[in-house]
Structure 1
Amino acid sequence: MTYRLLLVLGLLLSHLAVRAQLAQPAFELQQLAPGVYAAIDQGGRAGSNAGIVIGNRTVLVVDTLYREPASRALLDAVRKLTDLPIRYLVNTHHHIDHVAGNRLFAEAGATVLAQRNVPGWVQPENLRLLGGEQASAEQKEQVAQLLQPQLTFNERMSLDLGGRRVELQHRLGHTGGDTVVWVPDAQVMFLGDLLWRRSIPNLIDANLVQWRATLETLGVMGEQTRFVPGHGGVASAQDLREFAGYLDALDQAVADAQGPEETRSAAALEALRARYAAWAYFKGLAAPNVRDALAEREGRKRVPAPRP
């Protein structure tokens, strides 16, 4: 077989693989209660999870995923479920994998809302998240086109969807602008990235002390509550406790490590590896978690400042 034929065959197989991947659904839509759905990311094709809450008069969507085809598929999923208007879109925080589809839903009639710190962080902090000046031109353009929330709240906000009340609660931990979306009649809580089910989290904007306190507070919700995390499958109270246990273990591993920073980081990482190596994203995020936890403990971790 000639080199040219091998090259053509390789390109064909690559093209078929890409088409096969694109043909697979970006998320799995799971019904958690009548009119309450979780869109659970499949293989990273959506980039994160999202939610749909349907009342008698209107619809609320939680987050808009990362990749445009996934965002459009989420909008299509709402249209297939109901003809009611999409009145609200809630961003659980500012990270790009949760807000990239904002403009699409706003064009469909939704008011985008979030905690008051989020609008000022959407552009500058997502650019930092993607590498700042090292980000590609395509990434910079994507960040520039992100739509900021149009309506904000401070600590709490109640929304009436018609026969169904939804409560928004500001909690601290993953970022300084996290929102919990609570649907009382369904006993379902959308947590955004305050919860990563059996997954190592991103700590770039996190405060571990605040996060652990928030999880302790949420832990009293009861065993009947189902939690939709930002990443990973629909979770139980036990999953919430397991994730809180990871943050505790991370903090303890960093506290126990001795010697120069490089030695401490390696020791803390090995301590985590023994218990959490099987969790999603361990390879890519565990070492940065140790670095961020060390920086926080030593008072040198940079987190976004609240905006006026």
Structure 2
Amino acid sequence: MRALPSWLLVAALALPPGPAPAVRAEEAPPAAAETAPLPVQEVAPGIFVHAAPYALAARSNAGAIANAGFVVGTEAVAVIDTEGSLAAGRRLLAAIRARTALPIRYVVNTHVHPDHVLGNAAFVAEGATFVGHRNLPDALAARAGSYLQSNAPLVGPAFAGTRIVPPTLLVEDRRDLDLGGRVLRLDAWPTAHTNSDLTVRDLATDTWFLGDLLFVGHVPALDGRLAGWIAVLRRLKAEPAARVVPGHGPAVVPWPTAAGPIDRYLATLETEVRAMVREGRPIGEAGEAAAGEAKDWSLFREFNARNATTAYQELEWD
């Protein structure tokens, strides 16, 4: 991004690791008595999803730019991702409380990126256990300072009080969470979109939250390994599901049909960047890769050049 380089835009999500001494923004004002709930839709019985707009973090959206949801069991609730600021997290909490008074037992983060984790603080007072991939604590610690410093001016006053809340319950490979009459199955994946990708499947309805392993409409953002993402996507596609929730896109999409566009984009990126490496073209020209995909994706200009540069750095040593 030129006005703002793409790696500095918050929704690029892949800010380089930086010092993490400051993990709290300025103190938050007390929560408003009437917090407007995020709009959510019930995509299956007891499963609610906020389908976020295709946008970069800004004052107009308070960082609520990623899909987030919650699952209601007979005893408790699990939240899946929390948006990109304390204010946005509070709006998600308000949406939950508009539908159930059950305790929030778990908050699950599908990966490290700020638009999925910076709303965690809204749920601390609920007594929730925070859950994430085994790599998530280190990934958050490495980026805490960068995330807070970069997002604060973009989101503005609504960012006040936002802080990093890391997971205390880690998923090494697979873990089940019981909400009472409802089990969520969590799977940790090898490095793909990031090094901390986690999926959540509701066994009762066969609804699968894929986090940012699946983008629909919004161009993918590569912050892990291109080859790894292609391999994980291949494994995901081999597993049927009644419906899936992408990290960005509609609230719910059919599976594996919805994987077609991202599969094509990643394959095109790999093919064209490999050709550049083979031809000895400099990394400065990598942003030209996959240009033919531009018409099919929102925010293409903001993310594609960075994706291609990341892919070049990976594939030149392949």
How far is 1:260 from its partner? 2.5
CA RMSD of aligned residues (A): 2.7
Q: Give the aligned residue type for 2:68.
A: A
2:274 maps to: 255
SS of the aligned residue for 1:98 comes to helix
- Aligned residue pair count: 269
Q: Give the aligned residue type for 2:52.
A: D
Q: Give the aligned residue type for 1:115.
A: H
Alignment pair present for 1:229 and 2:246: yes
Distance 1:295 1:235 in 2: 32
How far is 1:47 from its partner? 2.0
Alignment of 1:67-78 (within 5 A): 67-78=85-96
2:40 maps to: 29
Looking at both structures, which has the greater relative contact order when contacts are Cα pairs under 8 Å and sequence separation is at least 6? 2
SS of the aligned residue for 1:255 comes to helix
Distance 2:94 2:152 in 1: 31
Alignment pair present for 1:216 and 2:234: yes
Deviations 1:117-157 (A, max 9, x none): 1112213224456788x997999x97993111122121110
Distance 1:158 1:262 in 2: 43
Single out whichever of 142-151 and 274-283 deviates more from structure 2: 142-151
- TM-score in terms of structure 2 length: 0.77
- TM-score in terms of structure 1 length: 0.79
Alignment CA distance shift 1:142-1:247 (3 Å)? farther
Identical residues among aligned pairs (%):
35
Alignment CA distance shift 1:291-1:146 (3 Å)? same
The structure with the larger Rg is: 1
Alignment CA distance shift 1:180-1:107 (3 Å)? same
Distance 1:79 1:26 in 2: 9
Alignment CA distance shift 1:213-1:47 (3 Å)? same
8 Å contact from structure 1 (residues 28, 42) kept in 2: no
Unaligned 5+ segments in structure 1 are: 1-24, 301-308
Deviations 1:4-41 (A, max 9, x none): xxxxxxxxxxxxxxxxxxxxx88541211110111111
SS of the aligned residue for 2:231 comes to helix
8 Å contact from structure 1 (residues 66, 101) kept in 2: yes
Q: Give the aligned residue type for 1:195.
A: L
SS of the aligned residue for 1:247 comes to helix
SS of the aligned residue for 1:74 comes to helix
Q: Which residue among 276, 280, 287 is the counterpart of 2:298?
A: 280
8 Å contact from structure 1 (residues 208, 293) kept in 2: yes
SS of the aligned residue for 1:288 comes to helix
Alignment CA distance shift 1:50-1:215 (3 Å)? same
Alignment CA distance shift 1:248-1:143 (3 Å)? farther
SS of the aligned residue for 2:106 comes to strand
Alignment pair present for 1:146 and 2:164: yes
1:5 maps to: none
Alignment CA distance shift 1:177-1:266 (3 Å)? closer
8 Å contact from structure 2 (residues 70, 80) kept in 1: yes
2:6 maps to: none
Unaligned 5+ segments in structure 2 are: 1-35, 56-60
Alignment pair present for 1:196 and 2:215: yes
Q: Give the aligned residue type for 2:260.
A: R
Q: Which residue among 70, 82, 93 is the counterpart of 1:64?
A: 82
How far is 1:74 from its partner? 0.5
Alignment of 1:41-190 (within 5 A): 41-42=52-53, 44=55, 45=61, 46-128=64-146, 145-172=163-190, 173-190=192-209
